[in-house]
Amino acid sequence: MSGERGAVISLTWLDPLRRRRVSAYRAGPGLDEALDVCRRLGAHGLATTIGYTAAPDEPPRAVADVHLDAFERLSAQGIDGHVSVKLSALGFAPELLAELDAAAARSGRTLHVDALAPVTADATWRLLRGAPRAGDIGIALPGRWTRSEHDTELAEQLGLRVRVVKGQWADPSAAEVDPAEGFLRVVDRLRGNSRGVAVATHDAGLLAESLSRLTGSGTPCTAELFLGMPFRAPARVAHRLGVPIRVYVPYGHSGAPYGVTDIRSNPVAAWWLLQDLVLGKDKMWLSIRRSRPKR
């Protein structure tokens, strides 16, 4: 029993450190905290996308209501913010997606469909094909999936905005695909897209190449960066190319974008952990100040 008690005490002692690490990448548990971060980013000239992470047992109706409230309050407060939704958290219910689509139309904000996984990709596209699309809707396309090049055509047919991401999950049919090479192939397929393309990566070299290809073809684009992730280098790339920046602001039950295994194998993740523990929420604001173009 003494060994078990010691383990519990050890885990309890680590809780404040875990919370501080997560605080660098999450606005807070609720919409109030997310909107506070949006307003503060807006004061720096940065637009936002807010993304709610539901609790594992949260009912789809409750999740939809959180997003409806987000649309209403973003509009009422005049915040330039998109609303990101994970359709799996809605139970892939078409009636709930229709409610969010209508809220996007009323508020003049974009509803962005996030977090495609291999097992949910087909269900996501089926739902989007049947959506009324009264409002502005966007979709994330992972560069590491071979299907994403074809999915750019579906997005164009449905009139969807596109956010290009490297992707959290490997392509089950082609796990060897290099995420960066796949990313650029998707970007190339989107050149000339009139709906606009968001390029979501903190890899400054990949961001520069992607934005250069898009701007060179006259394609409207933005750089989308994740709250708390390295900001200075990618922000300077966007500033140099004259491309606006939108910051993804998670709230709810989200965690840090890296785990213990990453820290053990990746020195960069270990450096992030040190900064997170020392600076917490202040890390993002310090990085924004350092990223301002020199006069």
pLDDT tens, residue order, the chain (295 aa): 445 444 444 445 455 546 555 567 788 999 999 999 999 999 999 999 999 999 999 999 999 999 999 999 999 999 999 999 999 999 999 999 999 999 999 999 999 998 678 888 999 999 999 988 899 999 999 998 888 999 999 999 999 999 999 887 777 776 677 889 999 999 999 999 988 999 999 999 999 999 999 999 999 999 999 998 889 999 999 999 999 999 999 999 865 554 545 555 566 665 555 555 545 566 676 777 777 665 5
Residue 109 lies in a domain: yes
Residue 101 lies in a domain: yes
Per-residue pLDDT tens for 25-64? 788 999 999 999 999 999 999 999 999 999 999 999 999 9
**Which residue range is the domain that position 87 belongs to?**
28-255+262-288
Residue 245 lies in a domain: yes
Alpha helices (runs of H) in 108-146, residue ranges in sequence order: 121-130
Residue 250 lies in a domain: yes
Residue 15 lies in a domain: no
Count of domains forming the chain: 1
**Which pTM was predicted?**
0.84
Instruction: Return the pLDDT at 177.
Output: 76
Q: Give the Å distances, CA to CA, from 269 to 64, 206, 272.
A: 34, 19, 5
Question: CB within 8 A of 150, min separation 6: which ones?
Answer: none
CATH number at 273 reads 3.20.20.220
Residue 20 lies in a domain: no
Residue 19 lies in a domain: no
Label residue 265 exposed, middle or buried (CB < 10 Å: 0-12, 13-18, 19+): exposed
Residue 16 lies in a domain: no
